Amino acid sequence: MEVMLIKEECEMLLGSYLVTVMGLAIPWSLTLLVVDAHSVFIRCLPRQPRIILVIVLGDLVLSFLLLAAASSTASVTDLLHDAGRSYCAANLCSRYQLSAAMAFLCWSLSFASSLFNLWLLPSL
């Protein structure tokens, strides 16, 4: 009974935190996509250090949030997988593992973007 309650709480917290962080990361990334596409088509790169600084700080904050979400997803998936088949259905564990892998991929790309922009900042 107690293990079942812990499992349900873990699944609820896991889903809500990952969805919240991805709900922040997706609009941020789409906004950067629109700004970058506008810069490429207009051929006018943003040369203001404040704009690049905001982008760097936003990417850094989101990359650390994404790392926390990916790590929590992976740990809960491992916990449910080690608990046995009665606590983790076959499709459920594979979905959590895929979510953790995609969250780590999203984190690595976001962190690489922030490091690239941080490298670009002193040249402005």
38 CB contacts (<8 Å, ≥6 apart)? Answer: none
Which pLDDT belongs to residue 90? 67
Which pLDDT belongs to residue 105? 92
104 and 32 Cβ atoms separated by less than 8 Å: no
The residue segments making up the domain with residue 87 are: 1-121
Phi-psi region of 89 (alpha: psi -120 to 50; beta: other; left: phi over 0): beta
82 CB contacts (<8 Å, ≥6 apart)? Answer: none
Which pLDDT belongs to residue 2? 46
CB atoms within 10 A of CB 2: 6
- Number of structural domains (the chain) is 1
Q: Percent of the chain scored above 70 by pLDDT?
A: 80
Which pLDDT tens digit goes with each residue over 69-100? 888 888 877 777 777 665 666 677 788 888 88
Which pLDDT tens digit goes with each residue over 19-36? 888 899 899 989 988 888
- Looking at the predicted structure, is the pLDDT value of residue 4 above 60? no
- Between the two ends of the chain, the Cα-to-Cα distance in Å is 60
Which of helix, strand or coil describes residue 88? Answer: coil
Name the average pLDDT for the chain: 80
